[in-house]
Amino acid sequence: MAEATLQNGLKAARTRLGLTQADLAEKVGVTRKTINTVENGVFVPSTVLALRLAQALEMSVEALFWLSGEES
Amino acid sequence: MFVKPGGSPAEIAEKLQARRVRIMRVQAVLFVAWQAAFINNLRGLHSPLRTVDHLQLSGFAVWAAALMMLLATGGGWWRSRAVREILDDEVTRAHRASALAWGYWTLALSALGLYLAAQLVTIPAFESAHGLLTLGVLVPTLRFVFLERRSERNG
C-alpha cells in the first residue's frame, strides 16, 4: 500500500481571505517561511500548528488538510 | 548593519531570521577559511605553546562555541519572548533537528575513521580534537543555513 501524503488547501484558503503569507504568519505566530513550507508540502505541521492554521483561516482542520487519495 | 529592527514581533522576527542566516553563512565561510591558515601554521606551533598560540587556539574555541550557541538557541537573546518564540518556530526547530542529526553522523563517522586510522598511524590528540570540533560545528551550521535558505525560496 502506497504511503499517504498530506495535502492542503492552505494557499487557496489564504488567498480567499485576502491574506499574504506574512499576514497569516503573523496571525498564527510563526515565520513566513513556515507558512511557505507548509503550503508547498515540504513541511508537515504539528497538530497544534494545524489547529492554529485552521482557526486563523476559519475552517476545520479536515477541510484544510487531507491525505492524498481522499476528497478535501 | 546591527541596527535593531523595529515593528511587530512577527516583523522583527522575520528580519532577525534573515540576519541570522546571513551571519551563519558568512561565519561558516570564515570558519573554513580560518582552517586553511590553521593547517598551514599547525606544524609551526611551538611546544610548549607560546602565549600567542594559546590566544589563537582559545579564540578558535570561543568562536566554535559561539556558533554552537547560535545554532542551539536560534539567537535573538536580547529580544522579547514573543520575538524569540516566532524566531524559534516549528520549522526552525525541525531544521535545527536535521542539522544536529547531520552533525551527529558526521562526528560518529569521523570518529570511526580516526579510530581505524589510529591503528595505522599516530594521530595527535590535539589534531583529532580540532578536526572533530571543526566538523562538528561546520556541518550542522551549513545544513541549517541550507534548509533555512531553501524554505525561504520555494518552501
Complex confidence, ipTM: 0.83
* Nearest to B72, CA basis, from B12, B135, B144: B144
Burial of B51 (0-12, 13-18, 19+ CB in 10 A): exposed
Name residue B125's amino acid: A
Tell me how many degrees the CA angle B74-B80-B81 measures, rounded to the nearest 5. Answer: 70
Q: Could you say which of A29, A34, A41 has the minimum Cβ distance to residue B91?
A: A34
Band the pLDDT of A69: cuts 50, 70, 90.
Answer: confident
Tell me how many degrees the CA angle A59-A61-A63 measures, rounded to the nearest 5. Answer: 65
Q: What is the pLDDT of residue A32?
A: 92
Q: What is the pLDDT of residue A44?
A: 94
Res. B116: pLDDT tops 90: yes
A31 with B92: Cβ contact below 8 A: yes
Band the pLDDT of B50: cuts 50, 70, 90.
Answer: confident
Q: What is the pLDDT of residue B2?
A: 54
Q: Could you say which of A29, A38, A41 has the minimum Cβ distance to residue B86?
A: A29
A43 with B92: Cβ contact below 8 A: no
Tell me the percentage of chain A whose pLDDT exceeds 90.
85
**Number of neighbours of residue B149 by Cβ within 10 angstroms:** 14
Residues 6+ apart with CB under 8 A from A49: A28, A30, A34, A38, B90
Cell of B3: 541596527
A22 with B10: Cβ contact below 8 A: yes
Q: What is the pLDDT of residue B3?
A: 57
B10 with A41: Cβ contact below 8 A: no
DSSP state of B44: T
Res. A61: pLDDT tops 60: yes
* Nearest to A5, CA basis, from A57, A32, A44: A44
Q: Which of A28-42, B12-26, B41-55 has the lowest mean pLDDT?
A: B41-55
Q: What is the pLDDT of residue A1?
A: 60
Q: What is the pLDDT of residue B39?
A: 75
What confidence tens digit (pLDDT) does each residue in B54-113 have?
888 888 899 999 999 999 998 888 888 899 999 999 999 999 999 999 999 999 999 999
Q: What is the pLDDT of residue B49?
A: 74
Give CA–CA dist B149/B155, Å, rounded: 9
Q: Which residues of A touch B148 (CB under 8 A)?
A: 33
Q: What is the pLDDT of residue B4?
A: 64
Give CA–CA dist A46/A49, Å, rounded: 5
List of domains in chain A: 6-63 (1.10.260.40)
Which whole number is the average pLDDT over A45-69? 94
3-class DSSP state for residue B20? Answer: helix
